[in-house]
A and B are shown apart, each in its own frame.
Chain A
């Protein structure tokens, strides 16, 4: 059965610290897609990244970086030099891509990140 686990419920850091949000997934599919979304206090969901199961290259986008490791079924997200504006709930999600896939996302429970000035 498919599942996404974000074990960290809440993280609090001081501005400029680096922080890593963990995401562990379970799936039997060989083709799948992993996502991260940000939900700031205003409530909308902001797409951050999509990664398919055949691309294990790490990705960096500004202060954001993602570490995908199939061997440990993890897709962790690191924010470097955190800022107060990074305070939000972050969701990791999985979409299974084998036959019959409909693109629906299975979300983790989310990690609430608080960055203090």
Chain B
């Protein structure tokens, strides 16, 4: 049973470009969470999704960031017009139900140059 798959592992974007981060949850998991780990900071919640629905996006920056979890396919975290401050590790986690405990993916390390 494959774990949570995130790709790419490393992503380099120039300022102003778009970044698309993908997350395939574990089989049978319908809850997906995205977290961001900025350099020298802890992990911060961004968004919680179930299939086709955003449940809690209280941690998402108001502009340039969006997330989706379509009926088919992986969850996508999209960052438009990236800036240097977006450079961070982005982790996706999945769970079969709320508060069951997460399995995290290996993360995507975004570098904006």
Q: Decide whether A and B are members of one complex.
A: yes
Chain B nearest Cβ from A34, distance in angstroms: 11
B99 touches A95 (CB 8 A): yes
> In this assembly, does B55 line the interface, its C-beta being within 8 Å of a C-beta of chain A?
yes
Contact of B102 among A47, A97, A102 (CB under 8 A): A47
Q: What residues of chain A lie closer than 8 Å to B59, measured between beta carbons? A: 104
Contact of B98 (CB < 8 Å), options: A93, A101, A110 = A101
Question: How many of A's residues come within 8 Å of B, CB to CB?
Answer: 23
Answer yes or no: A35 CB below 8 A from chain B CBs: yes
Contact for A103 among B42, B98, B104, CB less than 8 A: B98
- Give the shortest distance, in Å, between A51 (CB) and chain B (any CB): 10
Indicate if A50 sits at the interface (CB-CB under 8 A).
yes
A103 touching B31 by the CB < 8 A rule? yes
Task: Pick from B44, B48, B91, B100: contact of A45, CB below 8 A.
Answer: B91
**B55-96 contact mask (Cβ, 8 Å, vs A): 1 or 0:** 110110000000000000000000000000000010101010
- Give B58's nearest chain A residue, CB to CB: A104
Give the A-B pair count, Cβ closer than 8 A. 61
**Which B residues touch A93, using CB under 8 A?**
43
In the complex, whether A117 has a CB less than 8 A from a CB of chain B is: no
Complex contacts, B33 vs chain A, CB 8 Å: 103-105
CA distance A10 to B93 in the complex (A): 26
* A47 to B3 alpha-carbon distance, docked (Å): 12
For B109, the chain A residues whose CB sits under 8 A away are 43
B43 A107 Cβ-Cβ under 8 A? yes
List residues of chain B with CB within 8 A of the CB of A107: 42-44
Q: Considering only CB atoms, which chain B residue lies closest to A4 in the complex?
A: B42
14 contacts across the A-B interface (CB closer than 8 A): A44-B104, A44-B106, A45-B104, A46-B104, A97-B99, A101-B99, A102-B55, A102-B98, A103-B98, A103-B100, A104-B59, A105-B33, A107-B43, A107-B44
Given contacts A37-B104, A101-B99, A105-B43, 10 further A-B contacts (CB under 8 A): A43-B106, A43-B109, A45-B43, A46-B104, A50-B101, A91-B43, A103-B33, A104-B58, A105-B35, A105-B45
